[in-house]
Amino acid sequence: MLRAELKKLIKLGRLPLIIVIALAVRFLLCIIPAYNEHPYSPEVYRQYTEEYCGELTEEKLRRLNERLAEIEELLGQYEEMQDRYVRGELTLEEYSDYTERHGKAAAEYSTVEYLCRKWEALNACSTFDRKIFYDTDWSDLFGSNGFDFVMLLAMLCIAVPAFDSEYSSGSFSQLLTSKRGRGQLAAAKVAAVVVSVFILSVMMSGVRLGVFAYRTGLAYSKMPVGNILLTDGFGSTTLMGYYINDALVKAIVIAVYSAAVCLISTACRSTVFSLVLAFIISVTPMFLADCVQGEALYIISGALLGKMYPADVNLSVFFTVSAVKLSVLTAATVRLWGSRRK
């Protein structure tokens, strides 16, 4: 049954075309240069992380704190040095040397201060192997993982016609009079949609990771993600592991959404109305992404489409809740699809 429905989705639902277009658009969006805001200068950060890379040692921390103190001192002397130069207590050479060191200190201040704060935060963590490395690229990868409209549109294009086409083609009555045409068919339809959407979502995340790997490499992929997120919440999960987990979380969220869209299109029996309603329901979590926290994320899991999953999301609980939601939505669709008209 599932094979027959997948075949139908491929042939009638133009699944390969949707997948190719979605992946192409995702690829284009990945290669377009993006501006990422940081609390430090990436160039200086690279320089420092290369210098201080590896384990957090007391000696490295002492050097870093000394450098911060030196920078703060240099920045704090600015007005005094200016006055001294005006009063003729400094030669031009001495003043030039100071302004040069002041400029460098000003450029490095935010970065060194950030590194010190990060060091402090890392020191408070204990569940993973704490290391300093150049993590800006990974941080950008995680930070740019915003609400994926391409995936949303692709999901709607796959899910809405799955049931809606049966009404518009007029084949609805012939299907319902078939032996397996009620429960099993509806379940197979939902399953075909959910599987397709899940696979596409994973592929989309794969494209992002592929482009990232091609551009920056995967040098630090085995580093614990806590080194970037500065929390013990993820334990020894690596950067790659976190990205893969997040890709799975998003794929599951969007798959559950696709089941909800199936239910909507079964209830609406109108392409336009189904599309509009499904779009509204699918986009709403984007606006909720920052508001939904804690346990509410299990219920309104759509909010996870707009950000990387936080440490307080227990993946086992999330997968279980998603499975329950998927079952409920499928059961409701089967019931609605198979019920006799009154």
Q: Which residues of this chain interact with other proteins, rule CB under 8 A?
A: 1, 4, 7-8, 11-12, 165-166, 169-182, 185, 340-342
Q: Which CB atom, from 10 or from 61, has the smaller least distance to other proteins?
A: 10
Q: Which CB atom, from 122 or from 175, has the smaller least distance to other proteins?
A: 175
CB of 172 to other proteins, least distance (A): 7
The single-letter DSSP state of residue 131 is: E
Q: Measuring CA to CA, how many Å separate 122 from each of 57, 173, 224?
A: 12, 63, 12
CB of 160 to other proteins, least distance (A): 16
Q: What is the distance between the alpha carbons of residues 202 and 197, in angstroms, rounded to a whole number?
A: 9
Q: What is the distance between the alpha carbons of residues 245 and 240, in angstroms, rounded to a whole number?
A: 8
Tokens representing 179 are 């032996």
CB of 273 to other proteins, least distance (A): 20
Q: What is the distance between the alpha carbons of residues 24 and 135, in angstroms, rounded to a whole number?
A: 27
CB of 276 to other proteins, least distance (A): 24
Strand partners, 238: 224
Closest listed residue to residue 64, CA positions, set 82, 83, 44, 88: 44
CB of 9 to other proteins, least distance (A): 11
Q: What's the full length of the chain, in residues?
A: 342
Q: Which CB atom, from 144 or from 169, has the smaller least distance to other proteins?
A: 169
Q: Which CB atom, from 148 or from 166, has the smaller least distance to other proteins?
A: 166
Contact 27, 19 (CB under 8 A): no
Q: Which CB atom, from 88 or from 170, has the smaller least distance to other proteins?
A: 170
64 Cβ contact partners less than 8 Å away, ≥ 6 residues apart = 52, 112, 115, 116, 119
Q: Which CB atom, from 186 or from 223, has the smaller least distance to other proteins?
A: 186
The single-letter DSSP state of residue 132 is: E
CB of 154 to other proteins, least distance (A): 20
Q: Which CB atom, from 8 or from 46, has the smaller least distance to other proteins?
A: 8
CB of 177 to other proteins, least distance (A): 4
Q: What is the distance between the alpha carbons of residues 242 and 134, in angstroms, rounded to a whole number?
A: 17
| Alpha-helical regions (H) of 125-143 | 136-143
Tokens representing 318 are 């999330």
Q: What is the distance between the alpha carbons of residues 121 and 115, in angstroms, rounded to a whole number?
A: 10
